[in-house]
Structure 1
Amino acid sequence: MKKLLLVLSTFVLVFVLAACGNDKDAKKITVGAKNFTEQFILAKMTTIMLEENGFDVKEKSNLASLALRSALENKQVDLTWDYTGTGLVTYLKEDPISDGEEALKKLNELDEKNGITWSNITEADNTYALVMRADQAKELGITTLTDFAAYMNEHPGELLMASHAEFANRKDGIPGVEKEYGFKFADNSIVEMDSGLTYAALKDKQVDVSVAFATDARIKEFDFVILEDDKEFFPSYQAAVAMTMKTKEKYPEIEEILAPLQELLNSESLRELNYQVDIEEKSEDAIAREFLIEHGLIEK
């Protein structure tokens, strides 16, 4: 009996030690995402690809830009997709750089002190834009931001602008547009709301102009027009991976794992993915998996 108990005790000890060892050896990582559709999709695709390569992935989604950046700096998030323009202008208080590779180089130089590295830059440029309903823009003769500024100066307070709080206060948001194009929104003419509500507000004629992301499928679906940024104010916002240096050192294979996805992402492909979620009401997880399977990045 004693011999049997000894054997059982030894078996349990070996099992516990093995379990602890497996837990210690598990490739754990937290993937972050901001609070809009494109970010949810990018996070889902990243999670799926990392899980396919043996990672234990936790998602931390629905964060505002600055909250996500803080989480990355404080290592509450290990990896996220972010945008070159946001990194330079908003986080690092630098002037924008239109060339993607140059922007990536500058980001890595400046973010080294913050323990953050940038990689896997894509051709997807999710820059900001101001949009109007096509019929109203045509009626008012507005096709460019210069036209818009002239109209605002001639008709102060007439047009209402939908914006999320972040864009309303960013250097590369409303304050910068006003300064670059020489106009000023009248008091109470900026209606702040959640970023997901601005398109509906414009569609339903609650406002006359809205901030938009250039890759958003609702621009076409709702018959909006992008007002041409004829002074090229808005910086490039190419999607790229931002991760902690600690994560890169621990898992150098991540860049290679995500490289095939990087090659497939451009403004058109992201616009289509956004369309499937926002217009066709598919789940982010479903369309992420479909996309990866369709392009041979994962198996069914």
Structure 2
Amino acid sequence: MRKIPARRTHRLRVLAAPVAVVMAAGIALSGCGLQTGSAYVQKVQPASIEPIPALKGVNLAVGSKDFDEQIILGYIAIIALKAAGADITDRTNIKGSDSQRQALLAGGTDVEWEYTGTAWISYLKNTKPIVDPHHQFVAVQQADAKNGITWVDPAPMNNTYAFAVTPQNQKKYNLHMISDVKRLAQTNPKAATFCLETEFTSRDDGMPGVEKAYGFTLPKQNFQTMDTGLVYTRTQEGSCTFGEVFTTDGRIKGLGLKTLEDDKHFFPNYNAALSVRTEIMNKYPQIAQLFAPIAAKLTTEEIGALNTKVTVDGDDASQVALNWMAKNGFVRSPDAKTNGQA
């Protein structure tokens, strides 16, 4: 199986020290890591998306973080809004979660896709996730309303943590759920090895929390820490039995890895949902209706397949987004290649 390059494709779960972001009426784009992306000039025509007269000629800035999944989602939003009649400022690929969040709060962007778990824990400073994904979304929606942010009903896709194993190790050690790690840790502790990101080894919602929730403890030598991209390849190569991964990452499928069921529901839900400045949503409430059928199609499997096309195959994120939107009948485009699009 071919190796896949270690690209930065995961969501930043814990924010670094706050970035000084200065945005007033004349927003200082280059000074805060917020820049206008390469202009999205592909012409799209509405299909099931119908023009929204109120949006005609309205300029909306669409933002995203700087990893593949977020850029794909950003272009899906751009395509939908363009098809509905809006003019777009492309501010996808903002460097860092904190910069992206501050851009939305300060009006540097108007629309973005965000994750419920990220907002609940990192932005809204809660320590315990809510197990039920709907209740988690409602809690985020209500809390962030105080910050002038409106959340639109989330997609079913859940980009949360997971542990991945190779098919060979899955069969060899009979691994299907995280509870099986406890059995392996007790019966064959030398085989219960993990490839992890550095911060995951010390966080409450990382390995210490997993050990506590699932009732096992392993010595430090069972854990190897490394950059995110290396986790996938080292797990596939057999350097460790378990790799800490993100459930929608295209490298899981690309490397043929299998994820274990979180049978105790330890990890938070990271459902993606459209987040819009309330000022914009109040002016153009049709945005919610526009994105409802799009979000409904964005399952974990769907976004994982799209991520694979970008992360593994090297396809352009904007073209992948356009192909997907055309395949699902939201837009028409003479450039969209719908055959075989996942």
The aligned amino acid for 2:58 is K
Q: Is residue 236 from structure 1 mapped to residue 269 from structure 2 by the alignment? A: yes
TM-superposed deviation, 1:26: 5.8
Larger radius of gyration: 1
Distance 1:191 1:57, change over 3 A: farther
| Structure 2 partner of 1:85 | 117
Q: Which residue of 1 aligns with 2:216?
A: 183
1:39 pairs, out of 62, 65, 70, with 70
Shift of 1:172: 2.8
The correspondence of residues 164-243 of structure 1 with structure 2, limited to 5 A, is: 164-165=197-198, 167-168=200-201, 170-184=203-217, 186-187=219-220, 189-243=222-276
Question: Does the CA contact (< 8 Å) of 2:194 and 2:242 recur in 1?
Answer: yes
C-alpha deviation, 1:278, in angstroms:
2.8
CA distance in 1, matches of 2:111, 2:201: 27
Q: Secondary structure at the match of 1:148?
A: helix
TM-score normalized by the length of structure 2? 0.69
1:276 is aligned to 2:276: no
| Distance of 2:198 and 2:104 partners within structure 1 | 21
Aligned to 1:253, which of 269, 280, 286?
Answer: 286
Asked if the contact 1:125/1:238 (under 8 Å) is kept, the reply is: yes
For 1:87, the aligned partner's letter is: A
SS in 1 for 2:146: helix
RMSD: 2.9
Displacement after TM superposition at 1:180 (Å): 1.0
Shift in alpha-carbon separation, 1:262–1:159, aligned structure 2, 3 A: same
What do residues 205-262 of structure 1 show as CA deviations (whole Å, max 9, x unaligned)? 3443212222334323323221222212123322211232233234433223322312
Structure 2 residue identity aligned to 1:212: V
Matches within 5 A, 1:3-152: 27-52=58-83, 53-61=85-93, 63-92=95-124, 93=126, 95-152=128-185
Q: 1:130 offset after TM fit, Å?
A: 0.7
Per-residue Cα deviation, 1:251-290 (whole angstroms, up to 9, x for no partner): 4332233223123211222222122223333221111111
The CA distance in 2 between the partners of 1:28 and 1:241, in whole Å, is 17
3-state SS of 1:223 partner = coil
Structure 1 residues 72-81 or 154-163, which shifts more?
Answer: 154-163
Moved more, 177-186 or 128-137: 177-186
Distance in structure 1 (CA, Å) of the matches to 2:190 and 2:90: 46
* Distance (whole Å) between structure 1 residues aligned to residue 284 and residue 206 of structure 2: 36
1:156-214 deviations in Å (ceiling 9; x for gaps): 67654333455455543333212212334543654444434421232233443212222
**Counterpart among 317, 320, 327 of residue 294 in structure 1:** 327
Q: CA deviation at 1:299?
A: 1.8
Given residue 58 of structure 1, which amino acid in structure 2 is its aligned partner? D
Identify which range, 197-206 or 65-74, moves more after superposition: 65-74
Is the alpha carbon distance of 1:36 and 1:210 closer, same or farther for their aligned partners in structure 2, counting shifts above 3 Å? farther
**Closer, same or farther in 2 for the Cα pair 1:48/1:170, shift >3 Å?**
farther
Question: 2:10 corresponds to which residue?
Answer: none
Aligned partners of 2:72 and 2:317 also within 8 Å: yes
Higher helix share: 1
> Could you tell me the TM-score, scaled by structure 1's length?
0.78
Q: Whole-Å Cα distance in 2 between the matches of residues 244 and 191 of structure 1?
A: 41
Give the C-alpha shift of residue 87 in structure 1. Answer: 2.4
Aligned residue identity for 1:199: Y
Question: Judging changes above 3 Å, is the alpha-carbon distance between structure 1 residues 114 and 173 closer, same or farther for their aligned structure 2 residues?
Answer: farther
C-alpha offsets along residues 80-111 of structure 1, whole Å, 9 cap, x if unaligned?
21222332233331533343332222112211
Q: Counterpart of 2:154 in structure 1: which amino acid?
A: I
1:60–1:270 Cα change, 3 Å: closer
Overall identity of the aligned pairs, in %: 32
User: Partner residue of 1:17?
Assistant: none
Q: 1 CA distance for matches of 2:94 and 2:181?
A: 32
Q: Distance in 2 between matches of 1:267 and 1:136?
A: 24
Q: Equivalent residue of 1:240, what SS?
A: strand
- How many matched pairs? 276
